[in-house]
Amino acid sequence: MVDNVAITPGTGATVAADDIGGVLYQRIKLALGADGAGVDAVAGAGTVGTGVQRVTIATDDQTAANLNNALVGDYETVAASATDQVLGATGATGDFLSGLLIVPATTSPGAVSIKDGAGSAITIFTGGASSVSSLVPFMVPLGMKSAAGAWKVTTGASVSVIGIGNFT
């Protein structure tokens, strides 16, 4: 079977077009698939599957940088009962804190907080009596960039942390 369609100007099938400055540009509908098969490509973000095209984000796009920071990076452990432990060798403004993996040692662990530089403490996990039902570590996603200096983590009794991100 021949795949081409013959179009005779002025007669036959109508072809969609867009007039731009007196020039007609043919409008097309994108379909994906092997030879002899086609599935309409759909717009929008969704699960990659039949008829959904992948999109590549330019590496100079801030979204790409944020995704990279969120998915890969450094880690640093913070022991129980630590006070203002800096994440990274020295830490600095601009460091990215993807999240904290909180590791309780009892079902009544202490609290966990962070500071951006010398700023006020931000409670990430309040802890306390029977605050967790098991000793399974859990992730607290943050996705935060430091505006004032090194990220600092404080842990209470019976709770340690693994900080994940890009640290100086």
Instruction: Name the pTM for this structure.
Output: 0.61
Domain residue ranges of the chain, discontinuous segments joined by +:
73-166
Q: CA 55, CA 52: separation in Å to the nearest integer? A: 10
pLDDT in tens, the chain (168 residues): 456 666 677 776 777 788 888 888 888 877 777 777 777 766 555 555 555 566 666 666 666 666 655 556 789 999 999 999 999 999 999 999 999 999 999 999 999 999 999 999 999 999 999 999 999 999 999 999 999 999 999 999 999 999 999 999
Mark out the alpha helices in 32-165 (DSSP H runs): 62-71
Among the four given CATH numbers 1.10.3470, 2.60.40, 2.60.120, 3.30.1380, the one describing domain 73-166 = 2.60.120
Contact predicate 127/108, CB 8 Å: yes
